[in-house]
Structure 1
């Protein structure tokens, strides 16, 4: 009975972790593949299979265009198999070109112009970004957004802020010449600039003061016990003096803010990836399905809106991941199409084959590495 209770309680494994994980992941995957499918249809490309998940089919149906819509057992991705594809990765099936009927050749992916193929491939990641914008717009317009004045309420002992001479009541005016409107502007700017000197203009008793501040990299822990490193200067904004409030926005203003929020996540994620290659960031924050499932369960305890917010962030991450120039991923296909457009002819089948093999090995290695990070996180090993 204790086992059953643990599985089905709202904070148990099935309802507390698996269900939020499936909700977040399946929405993001479905929208990604729907982007491919809809633009492919618009470009005159036929689809034989639209699958959410991999492996054996759990449920499905055929539509009047002959596409099999499937829900498969392994919910860790999805694919659209277009007419003429050899597999779910949209690798052209050159050997079977001769067996295609005239109608199938007219709808086959590989016989479309390079522009139509590129548009169809790019539509998946683009749909992910669009989904994030829609989610953020709904959240901002329906529920508002918590904001706080850019005021220093407290200063942590022995912190960078204390050493440079910040005082409670100081107000942030600009960071490296960029105006500061709210306290989150400071947090976001500082968090990704550990070790980088920032020129901060502050207002104190009507006087403007300039400080050269270098955030230090420290490990922080969120409310769920997850640890991460980021830039910190040691200032705190509280309810008493920080002017914290919830602001409401109209649809138009929410849309503009949603685009900005999406771009911020893109910049933050892209900066982290670049930081790994430059040695500024540790790759231990790269997570796989286990971490996503854990985060989904944790965030779900805060409510439906935070879970939607997580879905938006995950959607952006998946969009960016798919744009990496790795064969098999959408970005790899786009690289092939770029070469084709420049050369006036497709990349040779042999080059594509080797590219797909290398891409598969890279993605498999990334999955193994991400899973290892997840396991070490769960068992607390460093």
Structure 2
């Protein structure tokens, strides 16, 4: 209870026990730094580490940082954070970073923030992140069997027909959940995603990275400019893996214009059952990329349906010819992973 915005009577002395600022944003600035927090996750796998904070760091501005925990009934003293900048930054100014916070005695933390000083009182007015993955679920209790992580819609992306066909294809293949990080999409696609979100099939994570830096549309700063690779693609992929770590048995990491599809089985569950039996210790499965050029069309026109004529976007059903891969050059792959085995991921490898 508050009175004129203040704690009444003897409760004023207890004001310091309560959180004042809990961030509900996907990107949260770290006070007095050039860095940003994205998501905080309980770390059940590493001895000595309590929480992992997926972050974005300015590479030329690293400084000592401290993890400040809210323990439900009290604050824990700031503990020195371990900063792990990912190796894949492609020369951009900002890089995906893991911040590991050590275990704190007598604290079962619910929220955490990063601070430039260990003084807990100075950090209490900063924005805190809710710690996710507090419960380590066993696989039989996961909500999903297969989740797709799509990173970074941007540039008012409005390819409605292709996105619809892809989502429906994934339903047929046995996917139960698709996570989309969205910087900007067209109005038609917004309505489509809202419909799938209401059905529970799609989860949209707002990703307003342009508010904090100049994101690049490419992967080479010399050619594409900007502060961070592909609108922070690596950050969103890593965050998605941790979001789904105790929610989904498998996570598919691929772009929105790609479909990971089996060719010897009808569904992904059938394919993975066979692959997992053949490779019982495997945790990461690499899926070879194949390109179906937009310039080549199915000649009969049988997929040019009248009801699709006015829907914006590409009709992937009309492009059935596969380009022969050139194995003399780099041939990328995408991945299906068991997220409990992943600490850091890049686009094509972990």
- TM-score of the alignment, normalized to the shorter chain, above 0.5: no
> What's the TM-score, normalizing by structure 1?
0.24
> What's the TM-score, normalizing by structure 2?
0.26
Which has the larger Rg?
1
